[in-house]
């Protein structure tokens, strides 16, 4: 394996391919759900049926979030796996207009959409690590997240134009095109540039079967070790609370602006401001994580969230409320980069990287389920301002847990990487160069 002092140069072609993959992932994720409700309503779906259909995306994500990391850990061909899940995501949305008259088929397609999207962040981080290695992971992740947010922003603008000038069904076109272009972008990533993978499995069937058994047992031990590590327990708990506090605030803000007669023009700016802020913040978070430490940069995201929610709770000025989306962009931009960097530190890039990424992403799925439930109960019981205070309290608890209990020095990992190194463990995931 290569020496850290003489890291191999990865080609600009492969880096461009990975950036483009992230751009199109942001593009296809950013356009699907926002107009789906209106599209289904135009086909005479009941409110209850629409609620079930949109919930199926969250169910699919939640069900496959943990298995996505395990599958990525077992299957070494991450480019092919990424292409498959992008194709399934695009297929789910692209076929929906053909089967919109059948609720069961539409629900199944949306479940497929959610299931395939659960792989996206884990696999994109894995490809980034495979290309860059531990030493350059932050820089590549920063670029990837910048392109991802740019894709989301482009999709919001492009889809809005298509829907307003044509018809709602045109909103599916960017997803179909983006999925195809995302798969083509994977072809730019050369296999020989993914040098931070473990060696290919043996060609001998008997030895390959024995290696598979050993790998399965090793993965089981690593999975159990995750929950013995205080740092990993803190990461999972704090990020879950972070997403519970973060996920419902933007939809809640949209509702509050309507309640305050904010106007449709300001509604569109809610999304635009946040995504535009995330692009430079992702670059900044990647650049300064190495200087200030991954924990400190991630802690900034945690500390911003309760401040943002409290401003929403105490202000009724629509311009002030809209400006809080800058804070949302800062927190989300940092989160997208920092969570992968901390996972890399805790596993040191060895076996378990993909599994821990999958577990960390469960926080997003839980936030998408628990957060809106709290939103509905809080707003229905005592109004918007109290709901914002509830989410400020949850965000403050997340910040306290992360800042107080997460170790300052994450370079030692969890002990998992050292144990595997001592045992000569091998796997199919990216590996830190010794």
Q: What is the pLDDT of residue 397?
A: 94
In this structure, the answer to whether residues 157 and 271 fall within a common structural domain is no
Percentage of residues in the chain having pLDDT higher than 70: 77
In this structure, the answer to whether residues 187 and 267 fall within a common structural domain is no
Residues 6+ apart with CB under 8 A from 259: 384
Higher pLDDT, residue 309 or 355: 309
Question: Which residue segment(s) compose the domain that 124 sits in?
Answer: 11-200
How many domains is the chain built from?
A: 2
Inter-residue contact 346 to 414 (CB < 8 Å): yes
Percentage of residues in the chain having pLDDT higher than 90: 18
Q: What is the pLDDT of residue 99?
A: 87
Helix (H) or strand (E) holding 138: helix 120-165
Instruction: List, for residues 126-135, the tens digit of each pLDDT value.
Output: 898 888 877 7
In this structure, the answer to whether residues 49 and 152 fall within a common structural domain is yes
SS3 170: helix
In this structure, the answer to whether residues 80 and 173 fall within a common structural domain is yes
In this structure, the answer to whether residues 290 and 391 fall within a common structural domain is yes
Predicted confidence (pLDDT) at residue 111 exceeds the cutoff of 70: yes
Average pLDDT, the chain: 78
Predicted confidence (pLDDT) at residue 223 exceeds the cutoff of 70: no
On whether residue 251 sits in a domain, the answer given is yes
Inter-residue contact 242 to 363 (CB < 8 Å): yes
On whether residue 410 sits in a domain, the answer given is yes
Residue (of 414, 421, 333, 351) closest to 153 by Cα position = 333
Q: Give the count of alpha carbons within 13 A of 331, CB side only.
A: 25
In this structure, the answer to whether residues 133 and 174 fall within a common structural domain is yes
Q: How far from 230 is each of 51, 105, 237, 401, CA to CA, in Å?
A: 38, 44, 11, 12
In this structure, the answer to whether residues 355 and 280 fall within a common structural domain is yes
Model confidence at 354, pLDDT cuts 50, 70, 90, reads confident
On whether residue 1 sits in a domain, the answer given is no
Q: Give the count of alpha carbons within 13 A of 382, CB side only.
A: 9
For position 73, which CATH number holds? Answer: 1.20.1250.20
Domain limit, last residue, from 200, 216, 250: 200
In this structure, the answer to whether residues 195 and 294 fall within a common structural domain is no
Q: Which two tokens stand for residue 383?
A: 């109004």
Q: What is the dihedral of CA 209, 213, 218, 221, to 10 degrees?
A: 170
SS3 194: coil
On whether residue 431 sits in a domain, the answer given is no
Q: How far from 433 is each of 136, 191, 371, 423, CA to CA, in Å?
A: 11, 18, 40, 16
On whether residue 221 sits in a domain, the answer given is no
Q: What is the pLDDT of residue 129?
A: 84
In this structure, the answer to whether residues 241 and 103 fall within a common structural domain is no
In this structure, the answer to whether residues 143 and 68 fall within a common structural domain is yes
Q: What is the pLDDT of residue 196?
A: 60
Predicted confidence (pLDDT) at residue 405 exceeds the cutoff of 80: yes
Q: What is the pLDDT of residue 345?
A: 83
On whether residue 215 sits in a domain, the answer given is no
Predicted confidence (pLDDT) at residue 44 exceeds the cutoff of 60: yes
In this structure, the answer to whether residues 193 and 52 fall within a common structural domain is yes
Residues 6+ apart with CB under 8 A from 17: 185, 186, 187, 188, 189
Instruction: List, for residues 318-328, the tens digit of each pLDDT value.
Output: 888 888 989 99
Inter-residue contact 425 to 345 (CB < 8 Å): no
Predicted confidence (pLDDT) at residue 109 exceeds the cutoff of 60: yes
In this structure, the answer to whether residues 241 and 159 fall within a common structural domain is no
Q: What is the pLDDT of residue 89?
A: 94
Q: What is the pLDDT of residue 153?
A: 85
On whether residue 217 sits in a domain, the answer given is no
On whether residue 219 sits in a domain, the answer given is no
Inter-residue contact 318 to 262 (CB < 8 Å): yes
Question: How many CB atoms are closer than 10 A to CB 179?
Answer: 25
Instruction: List, for residues 89-100, the tens digit of each pLDDT value.
Output: 999 988 988 888
Domain limit, last residue, from 183, 200, 217: 200
Q: What's this model's pTM, rounded to 2 decimal places?
A: 0.75
pLDDT, average across residues 268-289: 85
């Amino acid at each position: 394996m290569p020496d850290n002092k003489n890291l191999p140069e990865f080609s600009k072609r492969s880096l461009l391919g990975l950036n483009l993959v992230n751009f199109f992932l942001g593009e296809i994720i950013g356009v699907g759900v926002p107009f789906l409700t209106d599209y289904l309503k135009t086909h005479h779906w009941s409110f209850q049926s629409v609620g079930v259909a949109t919930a199926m995306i969250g169910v699919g994500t939640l069900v496959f979030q943990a298995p996505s990391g395990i599958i990525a850990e077992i299957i070494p061909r991450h480019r092919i796996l990424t292409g498959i899940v992008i194709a399934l995501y695009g297929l789910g949305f692209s076929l929906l207009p053909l089967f919109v008259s059948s609720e069961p088929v539409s629900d199944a397609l949306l479940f497929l959409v959610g299931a395939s999207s659960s792989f996206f962040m884990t696999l994109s981080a894995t490809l980034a690590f495979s290309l860059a290695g531990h030493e350059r992971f932050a820089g590549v992740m920063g670029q990837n997240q910048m392109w991802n947010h740019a894709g989301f922003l482009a999709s919001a603008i492009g889809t809005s134009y298509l829907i307003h000038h044509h018809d709602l069904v045109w909103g599916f076109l960017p997803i179909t095109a983006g999925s195809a272009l995302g798969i083509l972008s994977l072809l730019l990533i050369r296999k020989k540039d993914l040098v931070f993978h473990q060696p290919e499995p043996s060609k001998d069937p008997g030895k390959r079967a024995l290696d598979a058994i050993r790998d399965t047992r090793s993965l089981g031990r690593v999975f159990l070790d995750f929950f013995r590590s205080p740092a990993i327990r803190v990461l999972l708990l704090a990020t879950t609370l972070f997403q519970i506090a973060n996920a419902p605030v933007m939809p809640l803000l949209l509702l509050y602006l309507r309640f305050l007669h904010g106007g449709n023009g300001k509604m569109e700016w809610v999304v635009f401001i946040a995504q535009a802020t995330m692009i430079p913040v992702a670059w900044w978070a990647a650049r300064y994580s190495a200087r200030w430490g991954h924990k400190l940069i991630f802690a900034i995201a945690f500390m911003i969230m309760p401040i943002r929610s409290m401003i929403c709770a105490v202000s009724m000025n629509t311009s002030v409320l809209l400006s809080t989306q800058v804070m949302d962009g800062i927190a989300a931009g940092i989160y997208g980069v920092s969570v992968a960097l901390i996972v890399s530190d805790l596993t040191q890039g060895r076996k378990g990287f993909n599994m821990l990424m999958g577990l960390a992403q469960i926080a997003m799925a839980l936030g998408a389920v628990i957060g809106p439930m709290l939103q509905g109960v809080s707003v229905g019981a005592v109004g918007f301002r109290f709901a914002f205070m509830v989410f400020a309290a949850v965000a403050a608890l997340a910040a306290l847990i992360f800042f107080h209990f997460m170790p300052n020095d994450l370079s030692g990992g969890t002990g998992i990487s050292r144990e595997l190194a001592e045992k000569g463990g091998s796997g199919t995931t990216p590996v830190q160069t010794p």
